[in-house]
Amino acid sequence: MKKQIKSRDLEVLSAYLDGQLASREQTRLETRLKSDPDLQSALEELRQTRNMLRSLPKLRVPRNFTLTPEMLGFKRDTTRFFPVLRLTSVLAMILLAFVFFGDFMLQSSPSMMPEMEVSNDVYTAPQLAEKAAEIQEAAAPYPGGLAFEAPAAEALTDESEGETRAPVMKVPEPTPTVMATFAVAEMPYPAVGEAASPQESFVENNATTNSLLRVLEIGLAVIAIGAGIAAFVLRRGTLG
Amino acid sequence: MDESALIAAARQGDLDSFNHLVLAYQELIFNQAYRVMGESNAADDATQDAFIAAYRKLNTYRGGSFRAWLLRIVTNICYDELRRRKRHPTTQLEPLDDAGEEIESPNWIADPTESPEETTERAELGRAIQRCIDDLPPDFRVVVTLVDIQGLDYAEVAEVVGKPLGTVKSRLARARTRLRRCLQGFRELLPSALRLDNEE
């Protein structure tokens, strides 16, 4: 009668069959096998069972198990858009950074032309020439440009006190001619004809550029954010 | 493209690359699902679900044996289905023959050297072995099919089932012992060389 093989021995025999025993344990088992026919028989039964299982045929697959976008729960071909959307978002952000930088440089550079008050008077060329002649006539007797009479120095002495007061120079009120001289001298660049002044053109151009930059910045920001969100949603939909 | 390149591309959302992997592994996964579930329809569902889950979880694959990673997914799906069936037993829908026996018609890979009779005998033996496998507890079933049918080594099986090597060895030994006893009931089907004549 065959003796019952212990479950521990069966485990060792099974591992021995698959070459999974450590060398010391293997040597010990082989020694036992030489003297234990029941152990040999149990090993042989395990071997036959394993061989039977190994002889089972492989099954042919009944169909292909390849995946379609519909199986994964998103619209056909949308997976192909993910790299495009990601690239679009990145490029838009890079361009936006460049535009921001350019805008910053533009805003922080000094004005090319000084601000000037624009005269409301419009002068034609002949009127300008007349004005220039007047200025020259008015300035001719006054090398320094300022008209005044040097009053006679009067020694104003206070005989009673015996002191001599320094002579007082009276500066007369400026003559109308002098006032006109100063007015002309302070006259800013007159507008000639109907042509716009250089600074008007400059300001207009500056405003147009700023508007363009704003539109570009907003547009690029919308593209970057929109493409990024779309790529994120697509990725979430793909991976579940 | 090699396997690691396909996996990397699939991770980026390239479905075509993943489908190349499906074609490479579908026979392995389907056979494992069939041996654990015991029937074609359930194996079909488990295989498809396994590949869908694998695609969705590709970012969790951390390298190592991709085969073991896929087998782990299909094994867990099979476990879930077996637990569900245990909670809600259903009637088998396999067709019956004249004797009232269920007819299973798995599509065996034909051996061109066999005669039709040999093919039939092999099919009957296969059904008998499968019946004995079906009688095993799921844990034993998974381990013995992975080692003796799929040819994985103990370490890879431990990775698939998520258990220590000692547990794998123990389950395998007990599964083989139970199968041996079960197969004694089909002695007439066994090839003579495999008949266990020394059983008393």
Instruction: Give the Cα separation of B123 and B103 in Å (integer).
Output: 11
Task: Please report, for residues A208, A218, A224, B132, B147, the alpha-carbon distance to residue A18 in angstroms, rounded to integers and kept in the order given.
Answer: 83, 69, 59, 22, 9
Is residue B86 located within the same domain as residue B141? Answer: no
Instruction: Please give the torsion angle defined by the CA atoms of residues B115, B118, B124 and B129, in that order, rounded to the nearest 10 degrees.
Output: -130
| Domain extent listing, chain A | 7-54, 72-111+195-240, 124-139+172-190
CATH of the domain at B40: 1.10.1740.10
CATH of the domain at B133: 1.10.10.10
Report pLDDT for A32: 94
In terms of CA atoms, which chain A residue is nearest residue B195? A48
Answer whether residue B102 is part of any domain.
no
* 3-class secondary structure, A58: coil
Per-residue pLDDT at A166:
47
CB contact under 8 A, B14 and A59: no
Residue B106, pLDDT score: 52
User: Hey, is A122 helix, strand or coil?
Assistant: strand
Average pLDDT score over chain B: 85
Interchain pair B30, A71: CB under 8 A: no
- The answer to whether A177 faces chain B, any CB pair under 8 Å, is no
Amino acid at B62: R
- Number of domains within chain B: 2
Q: What is the mean pLDDT of each run of 10 residues along chain A (240 residues)?
A: 80 94 93 94 93 90 94 66 85 91 81 52 68 68 48 45 47 49 48 54 74 89 90 67
pLDDT value of residue B40: 93
DSSP state of A78: G
Chain A residues with CB under 8 Å of B168 CB are none
| Weakly modelled stretches of chain B, pLDDT under 50 | 95, 102-105, 193, 196-200
Q: How many CB pairs under 8 A join A and B?
A: 134
Residues in chain A: 240
* pLDDT of A160: 47
